[in-house]
Amino acid sequence: MSARPARPPGSGAGPGAGSGLLSSPYLLLLLTTLFWAGNITLGKVAALGHVPPFTLSLLRWTLAALILLPFGLRQIVAQWPDYRRHWLKIVAPGLLGITAYNTLQYWALGHTTSINVAVIGAAMPGGIFLLTWLMGQERARGAQVVGMALLTLGIVAVAVRGSPAVLAALAFNIGDLAMLVAVTLFCFYSVLLRRIPPGFGFTGLLTALVIVGALGVVPFFAWEAATQPALEVTWVSAGIILYVGLFPSVLAYYCWNRAIALAGANLAGVMMSLTTVFVVAMGVFVLGEPFRLYHAVGFALIFAGIWLAVMTGRRKG
């Protein structure tokens, strides 16, 4: 991977802007994938009738905005002329990576199987690699491409339970199409983050992105509220909303955005494959699902692909 810029976007003042654990892109991406795995698991639970998808998306990002606002507002006010000058470079990724990706993902979970979602999600590392190359941000070398192919095969092996017959029998529907669009838009989000000019306070920038994302969900929520039954508040629905509003939103996006600023979108795309590993682990240790041989084979391919892509980038980046 190419060398990172001296002052990446969002590298201004803010929590974690200095040295320490939050300066390790590997730790940041590990936390991101863990939090997002929990989001997928709870998103499927929500889709079983606990929380409507657009309502969940709006409440998630509204809660995240309220958490971030006390920390980020001062930076936004101090740099308001810069925000006005570069508003489109902030609004575009906010609508793509926060509004569209998450809203479509929640909706897709109510219309397709988790296997299909996993297979479609396996395209994300490749999509990010392709976009960074087309937009001239980063170059993927031969060994990195091989690594990406290995981890993609590993994800697919887990998703189809090691059986080609399962892959051949997959029936794609409108939910699959929605997830494919969501993955594509998140790839653009990850690449567009690198086009935000340097110098923005990191917490302020994240706050602005989340506010844009929350506002973008409002039309979808309005339609859902007018056509679907209202949210029934229970301990389960409240717990889901609190989790998705904090961990996969504030904390995961903070880690993801900062990791991209530190090391680029290609590394983030490769490491995102760990989400599948964590989803399976949660099924085994939390839900008591069995651990099969195809899990071990898939995980071996994933970790081999990550090692090959990351080590090649470290030697030549």
Reported residue count of the chain is 317
Contact (CB, 8 A) for 14 and 203: yes
The reported pLDDT for the residue numbered 20 is 59
In tens, the pLDDT along 73-123 reads 999 999 999 999 999 999 999 999 999 998 999 999 888 876 667 667 777
Buried b (16+ CB within 10 A) or exposed e, 153-163: bbbbbbbbebe
Mean pLDDT of 176-198: 88
Q: Which two tokens stand for residue 239?
A: 């717990």
Contact (CB, 8 A) for 132 and 265: yes
pLDDT(175) > 80: yes
* Phi, psi angle pair for 141, to nearest 5°: -85, 170
Looking at the DSSP bridge assignments, the partners of residue 9 are 198
**Distance of alpha carbon 253 from alpha carbon 272, whole angstroms:** 13
pLDDT(7) > 70: no
Q: Where are the chain's structural domains?
A: 24-316
**Range from 16-20, 73-77, 140-144, 274-278 carrying the lowest mean pLDDT:** 16-20
Percent of the chain exceeding pLDDT 70 equals 82
The reported pLDDT for the residue numbered 10 is 56
Q: Which two tokens stand for residue 35?
A: 């939090």
**Range from 190-204, 249-263, 300-314 carrying the lowest mean pLDDT:** 300-314
pLDDT(13) > 50: no
For the whole model, what pTM was predicted?
0.80
Quick one: DSSP state of residue 9?
Answer: B
Residues 6+ apart with CB under 8 A from 215: 99
In tens, the pLDDT along 121-173 reads 777 777 777 787 776 656 656 666 777 777 777 777 776 767 777 767 766 67
The reported pLDDT for the residue numbered 19 is 46
**Distance of alpha carbon 204 from alpha carbon 121, whole angstroms:** 29
Where are the alpha helices (H) located in 172-234, listed in sequence order? 174-192, 202-227
